[in-house]
Amino acid sequence: MKTATIILDKDYTIGIVDPRLFGSFLEHLGRAIYGGIYEPGHPLADEEGFRTDVLELIKKIQVPVVRYPGGNFVSGFRWEDSIGPKPLRPHRLDLAWKTTETNEFGLHEFLHWCRKAGTSPMYSVNLGTRGIEDARNIIEYSNHPGGTYWSDLRIKNGEKEPFSIKLWCLGNEMDASWQTGQKTAYEYGKLARESAKAMKIIDPSIELVACGSTGPLIETFGDWELTMLDQCYDYVDYVSLHRYYENPSGDTADFLANSCDMDEFIQNVSCLCDSVKGKKHSKKTLNLSFDEWNVWYHTKNQDEKIQTQHRWEKSLPLLQDVYTFEDALMVGSMLITLLRHADRVKIACMAQLVNVIAPIMTENNGSAWAQTIYYPYAHVSQFGRGTVLRAIVNSPVYDSKNFCSVPYIDAVGTLDESGTVTIFCINKDLNEDFKLSLDLRAFPGLVMTDHILLSHPDKAAVNTKENPFNVIPCSVNNDTQENGQYQVLLPKLSWNVLRFSPERRD
Ligand code: AHR
């Protein structure tokens, strides 16, 4: 059996976990909203039409922040269409996804839903077809107490107290050719700056995310960050990163190695931000908002067909990727990577939350269930709080098609307020189990309280409506301890959560 070691020490830390690292994303896309979180008439819908079965699944993963309403959708969206009496709200063509938006679910509904889901909003403004004027208006509507046209309209629409939305995105993927209202880096940087100025005059307590590149492979990557930040560095608080991974050729080893790409992407964007900081002699360090990340590829061909055959129809079943066990491992690896960068990445949103490339699926008028990727997300959100520990991992490595020296064992540790140490770790080896030795000398009073394991003999295994518990975690008990060294068995291709809590002396 192969072996690896992990050493953890409480003095070797990376940073404090910002709870917003475990955020998610809901776009007016496909069945995310209509038939996802909102379905009046569903047997389990509440008085506002929110599906309570979906709310329960969301509450279990403790989602701290939800980005909304897009995504590509926001670049053609008029936020005023989504307020006021529902029968008067206009139906509009959504150019991003070639469907029709009814606006039945809008700003007020989203904020009510956030309260029920125990989450907070991250609201995107449209800097594609719109600009400064609309950005200032929605801040005034949402966050100003009253006595002006927009704030009084909010009160008239039933909300006396301001919504006080704290976190805002300045547009979405404005570098991308598919974006309605695509901009050059200079145009966007200037627009982001002027919108930010206006928004912060109305509410100086808000935080703003500027659009970074759509991904590291887009040809303007790097130049985009430098040019747009040159314009808006002093006015924004975060830069966004987006990244999706795929495995169309079925090369699992290479697919799982993509965490190296994510790691490099985060490092490169940090360097780009710091380069602008240096040029400007600024005292401010910009943090990162990785506000779209996931696996996305299973439905791409099918989506094109649906969009062609059902152009301009409502709530089409788009991006309904059914995730495999292998995808859950990749998601786990991305979560480990995010935790390893907790000093710099303060916000991250798994894209998305329900039905659209999502951990939760629903059937119209039917059940809701958790996909494979739900579980690593739930574990890290539930247990990955507190301080991130810099795990020293000694693991054999492998070379894949696109990556060299990829450690088979990918791991990170956290220390929470109760003194519990949690180690999240993946065995990426397709063929062999690993014996992992854990050196926890720096934590003498801790005892192992749980080993949660997610594994499956079939890497293509999925959860479906008919078989929703095919891939689920379980607790195992095959670990041993001697002189502060734990020996843990990590089965081939597995996600593991190892928990060590202070010994109870009662
Ligand atoms: O999450 C799906 C889409 O991916 C989003 O709308 C867009 O921002 C990205 O390209």
The predicted pLDDT at position 503 comes to: 78
Ligand 1 centroid–CA 34 distance in Å is: 18
**Token representation of residue 44:** 């389990």
Is the Cβ atom of 213 under 6 angstroms away from ligand 1?
Answer: no
CA distance 234 to 219: 26
Whether pLDDT at 506 is above 70: no
pLDDT band for 301, please (50, 70, 90 cuts): confident
Instruction: Give the residue-averaged pLDDT of 276-294.
Output: 98
CA distance 247 to 357: 15
Whether pLDDT at 494 is above 90: yes
Whether pLDDT at 174 is above 60: yes
Ligand 1 centroid–CA 147 distance in Å is: 37
CA distance 340 to 15: 9
Beta strands at 65-68 and 120-125: parallel, antiparallel or unpaired: parallel
Report the nearest-CA residue for atom 6 of ligand 1: 71
**Token representation of residue 97:** 């996804």
The predicted pLDDT at position 353 comes to: 98
The predicted pLDDT at position 402 comes to: 96
DSSP state of 75: G
Which among 117, 25, 110, 5 is positioned nearest to 72, based on CA atoms?
25
Task: For residue range 238-272, list pLDDT tens digits in order.
Answer: 999 999 999 999 999 999 999 999 999 999 999 99
Task: For residue range 134-143, list pLDDT tens digits in order.
Answer: 999 999 999 9
Report the nearest-CA residue for atom 4 of ligand 1: 71
Whether pLDDT at 385 is above 90: yes
Instruction: Give the residue-averaged pLDDT of 204-226.
Output: 97
The predicted pLDDT at position 387 comes to: 97
Ligand 1 centroid–CA 76 distance in Å is: 14
SS3 62: coil
Is the Cβ atom of 225 under 6 angstroms away from ligand 1?
Answer: no
Is the Cβ atom of 72 under 6 angstroms away from ligand 1?
Answer: yes
66 near 26, Cβ under 8 Å?
yes
The predicted pLDDT at position 96 comes to: 96
The DSSP result for 366-379, as a single string, is S-EEE-TTHHHHHH
**Residue 17, amino acid:** V
203 near 139, Cβ under 8 Å?
yes
Task: For residue range 87-120, list pLDDT tens digits in order.
Answer: 999 999 999 999 999 999 999 999 999 999 999 9
Ligand 1 centroid–CA 478 distance in Å is: 42
The predicted pLDDT at position 505 comes to: 57
Instruction: Give the residue-averaged pLDDT of 72-80.
Output: 98
**Residue 366, amino acid:** G
The predicted pLDDT at position 49 comes to: 98
Instruction: Give the residue-averaged pLDDT of 59-81.
Output: 97
Rg (CA), the chain: 23
Is the Cβ atom of 384 under 6 angstroms away from ligand 1?
Answer: no
Q: Which atom of ligand 1 is nearest to the CA of 72?
A: 6
Would you give the end-to-end CA distance of the chain in angstroms?
A: 39
The predicted pLDDT at position 124 comes to: 98
Task: For residue range 324-349, list pLDDT tens digits in order.
Answer: 999 999 999 999 999 999 999 999 99
Is the Cβ atom of 321 under 6 angstroms away from ligand 1?
Answer: no
Q: Which atom of ligand 1 is nearest to the CA of 73?
A: 6
CA distance 489 to 164: 48
Instruction: Give the residue-averaged pLDDT of 52-62.
Output: 97
My answer on whether omega of the bond before 69 falls inside 30° of 0, hence cis, is yes
The predicted pLDDT at position 30 comes to: 97
Average pLDDT, the chain: 96
The predicted pLDDT at position 342 comes to: 98
Biggest distance spanned by C-alpha atoms of the chain: 71
The predicted pLDDT at position 504 comes to: 67
Task: For residue range 460-481, list pLDDT tens digits in order.
Answer: 999 999 999 999 999 998 778 8
Helix (H) or strand (E) holding 263: helix 258-279
pLDDT band for 126, please (50, 70, 90 cuts): very high
Is the Cβ atom of 351 under 6 angstroms away from ligand 1?
Answer: yes
Most ligand 1 atoms within 8 A of CB, residue of 27, 122, 356 to mutate: 27
Whether pLDDT at 287 is above 90: yes
Q: Which atom of ligand 1 is nearest to the CA of 25?
A: 1
Is the Cβ atom of 30 under 6 angstroms away from ligand 1?
Answer: no
Is the Cβ atom of 299 under 6 angstroms away from ligand 1?
Answer: no
- Burial class from Cβ neighbours inside 10 Å (0-12, 13-18, 19+) for residue 233 reads buried
Q: Enumerate the active-site residues.
A: 173, 292
More confident: 364 or 478:
364
The predicted pLDDT at position 122 comes to: 98
Percent of the chain with pLDDT over 90: 95
